Amino acid sequence: MQSKQVDIVIGVKNVSKSFGDNHVLNDFTLDVFKGENIVVLGKSGSGKSVLIKCIIGLMKQDKGDINVLGKSVADLSSDELDQLRSKVGFLFQSNALYDSMTVRENLEFPLRRHGKSLSQSEMDMAVQQALESVGLAHTENMMPSELSGGMKKRIAIARTLILKPEIILYDEPTTGLDPITGKGISELILEIQRKFNTSSIIISHDMHCVKIVANRIVMLIDGECYKIGTYEELSHSDDQRIREFFD
Amino acid sequence: MSDNAFIRFLKEAGELSAFTGRFFKELFKPRQEWRELLRQCFYVGNHSLALVGTTAFIMGLVLTIQSRPTLVEFGAEAWLPKMVSISLIREIAPVITALICAGKVGSGIGAELGSMKVTEQIDAMDVSGTNPFKYLVVTRVLATTLMLPVLAVIADAVALYGAYLGANIKGVVSWQLYWSQVFEALSYSDALPAFVKTYFFGFAIGIVGCYKGFNSNKGTEGVGRSANSAVVVSSLLVFVLDLIAVQIADILGFT
């Protein structure tokens, strides 16, 4: 039990969040262990993205506690939050690449901003390594507008990888991509987990992606943690509300 | 104005005031974004210069051509350079420069920040250890505040040159005589209030553009709306500030 406590990298305890009368998270509880990929599965508008935005501190929960790498996110000062964020990567649903910057500048931005005092050659190497890890080493001087949807997603992943995060939060990583590109991205997420031993929360309702990347799946229904299990366990469930996702 | 529209107006005014308050709060906080500030100054100056110059030249020329017949009627043609230069320096060049910038720069800021907001780029900046308000808003507002007076001075010079050409279309005024009459007519009290008010015009354009963009929502439709309302509100504010500036200058004896 003691060793499991140590291994918890994200602890979400009884978190509630509402927008007016819309209660999106309702006493939600979840532990993420080191090195595992957890998929949060739920219908659109069920509060999946809100959950990871609370974890990274972009939103504040109304109730409950969120602990990331041993720190309570709500209690952190702005500087402490920045420090924590250097260890947590976030892949946005829309990729959020800076339109006015080249791919290289997009990747250098978090390195410069998180106060990493790297020389230009170290920076070049970090950019090159991050691009190679997503298989797009040749794109460094391209603008985001010149990239395809799949390439943008890979560059956005490279940007989250460049700080060598311990945790990565993926917000619908395969949405808007064709099935083949989506499969490629799912395999890349799995490869990142194996290569860098990262812990991840993946928000998705793409069942192909879920099957590839998930160590455990959390069913988020009515704002609550309805059920947790592996893909095999949940896909064989008799519960109609779970079956809806797998059929 | 219906009750709803009035409440919306008050709400918007309150939010804009709070946004302005946050600007001053963030302004002195470390870290200063000098690189981005310089980039924005270059953008504001460089992108508006041709348009401001062309418009100022035409305004100078047209004002001279249209004022001549009236002055001729009263036998006061010799007063043309004096009258036109005072009009241009005190009012027309600063206001025209501000309106051009509201259209060009204000809408650009509204659209750029609006697009960054709806594509989560502002959130991405936040998780990258950057204060997006400081990086995006403070630099842009400072850039418009600092560059508008520079553009207005250039507009003054170009408009006066346009007026010189206008004066020579139907009459003959030598280069030396024209400029000696212009500088004879102009005094410190004409130039200073006009120059000072351009700082406020620049600030209004920057803060409204940033406010509209930063609070953009409803996807691409919201981006268009942000850009549009940035122009409308900042143009209106330019006239309101001009009115206030004229009254203050009058009270302080700059007449």
Tell whether the model's pLDDT for residue A7 goes beyond 50.
yes
Q: From the candidates B36, B126, B127, B223, which should be mutated to test the interface with A, based on the most A CB atoms within 10 A? A: B127
Question: Measuring CA to CA, which residue among A39, A19, A15 is closest to residue A218?
Answer: A39
Q: In chain B, which residues have their Cβ closer than 8 Å to the Cβ of A93? A: 120
> Considering the domain A2-246 in this protein, what is its CATH number?
3.40.50.300
Please give the full DSSP string across chain B, using - where no structure is assigned. Answer: --HHHHHHHHHHHHHHHHHHHHHHHHHTSSPP-HHHHHHHHHHHHHHHHHHHHHHHHHHHHHHHHHHHHHHHHTT-GGGHHHHHHHHIIIIIHHHHHHHHHIIIIIHHHHHHHHHHHHTTHHHHHHHTT--HIIIIIIHHHHHHHHHHHHHHHHHHHHHHHHHHHHHTTSS---HHHHHHHHHHH--HHHHHHHHHHHHHHHHHHHHHHHHHHHT--SHHHHHHHHHHHHHHHHHHHHHHHHHHHHHHHHHTT--
Please give the full DSSP string across B158-211, using - where no structure is assigned. Answer: HHHHHHHHHHTTSS---HHHHHHHHHHH--HHHHHHHHHHHHHHHHHHHHHHHH
pLDDT value at residue B128: 87
Interface of A with B (CB under 8 A): 53, 56, 58, 78, 82, 85-86, 88, 90, 92-100, 109-110, 113-115
Query: pLDDT by residue (tens digit) across A39-67?
Result: 999 888 888 999 999 999 999 999 999 99
Alpha-carbon distance A58 to nearest alpha carbon in chain B (angstroms): 7
Question: Measuring CA to CA, which residue among A240, A236, A221 is closest to residue A25?
Answer: A221
Q: Hey, is A7 helix, strand or coil? A: helix
Between CA B193 and CA B202 the distance in angstroms is 14
Tokens matching residue B81: 């350079």
* A2 confidence band (pLDDT: 50, 70, 90): very low
Q: Are B123 and A110 in contact (CB < 8 Å)? A: no
A65: β partners: A13
Q: Are A92 and B128 in contact (CB < 8 Å)? A: no
pLDDT value at residue B122: 93
Q: In chain A, which residues have their Cβ closer than 8 Å to the Cβ of B112? A: 100
- List the single residue in B with minimal CA-CA distance to A168: B127
Of B112, B123, B131, the CB nearest to A96: B123
pLDDT value at residue A3: 46
pLDDT value at residue B161: 96
pLDDT in tens, chain B (255 residues): 567 888 988 999 999 999 999 999 999 988 888 999 999 999 999 989 999 999 999 999 999 999 999 998 998 888 899 999 999 999 999 999 999 999 999 999 999 999 999 999 999 999 988 889 999 999 999 999 999 999 999 999 999 999 999 999 988 889 999 999 999 999 998 999 999 999 999 999 999 999 999 998 878 888 999 999 999 999 999 999 999 999 999 999 886
Domain boundaries along the sequence of chain A: 2-246
Q: Are A98 and B124 in contact (CB < 8 Å)? A: yes
Q: What is the DSSP letter of A246?
A: H
- List the single residue in A with minimal CA-CA distance to B129: A82
Mean pLDDT across chain A:
91
- List the single residue in A with minimal CA-CA distance to B39: A100
Alpha-carbon distance B225 to nearest alpha carbon in chain A (angstroms): 20
